[in-house]
Amino acid sequence: MTSAVTVPTSVIFDVGHVLYDWDPRALYGRLFDDEQALDSFLGEVATRDWHFQHDAGRPFVETSAELAALYPQHAAMIALWGPRFGEQIPGPIPGMPELVEELDLRGVTLFAITNFSGEFFAPFRAREAALFDRFRDIVVSGDERVVKPDPAIFHLALRRFALTADQAFFVDDNEANVAAARALGIRSHLFSAAEPLRAELTALGLLDDAHGQAAAD
């Protein structure tokens, strides 16, 4: 006898590059007059590896002081990273606010797991309350001091969300994060754009096909 396949009842989203774009150039491109100097600053000084410390829970006051000591000529620019982090997030990924709204209106429970500094996320969430108020809970790596793809953050999230793995559908743009979720039995989607995600959610019955029909008409 073939066992029935459990259809997920809840969607767990990543935030960066799934719900919202993140690009340090959105801020620093306005602050540097010289493109080569901008490339050097983001490629050698305020790098993504350096920023990842914030996602893991290190406070900006510590990381910025360390980096400024190494690159005193860039101290003023480094100091702007935290207070103006919201300016590195230029806006939502096309189609995603509408997709989230449709899921919410259909009664699908929404959650998120994001690699994000806790101190940076709080003001960003407040700024984007219209979208994030649709979410029942959000696990922020910087608050928990554990980052994706560590299985521990998925275990923590499932406990907090009161979900079993087969009740969840996880969406992330990072292959390692998707692989980690799948290894725990969480059905997952490697995000590239809103429409392929919409198609899979529709196939699962979490969205209806009215949007697709409207587009065809």
Pairing state between β 109-114 and 10-13: parallel
Average pLDDT of the chain is 94
pLDDT band at 4 (very low <50, low <70, confident <90, very high): low
Please list, in sequence order, all residues whose beta carbon lies within 8 angstroms of the beta carbon of residue 164, skipping any fewer than 6 positions away.
Answer: 158
Q: Judge whether residue 214 has pLDDT over 60.
A: no
CATH for 10-21+92-216 (3.40.50.1000, 3.90.1150.200, 3.40.50.300, 3.20.20.220) = 3.40.50.1000
Write down the domain spans for the chain.
10-21+92-216, 25-88
Map residue 136 onto helix, strand or coil: coil
pLDDT tens digits, residue range 152-164? 999 999 999 999 9
Distances (CA, A) of 68 to 53, 65, 120: 15, 5, 19
pLDDT confidence of residue 186: 97
pLDDT tens digits, residue range 102-132? 999 999 999 999 999 999 999 999 999 999 9
pLDDT band at 208 (very low <50, low <70, confident <90, very high): confident
pLDDT tens digits, residue range 160-205? 999 999 999 999 999 999 999 999 999 999 999 999 999 999 999 9
- Give the helix/strand (H/E) hosting 138: strand 137-140
Amino acid at 189: H
Rounded to two decimals, the pTM is 0.92
pLDDT confidence of residue 211: 54
- What whole-number percentage of the chain has pLDDT above 70? 94
Residue linked to tokens 């998707």 = 178
pLDDT tens digits, residue range 43-102? 999 999 999 999 999 999 999 999 999 999 999 999 999 999 999 999 999 999 999 999
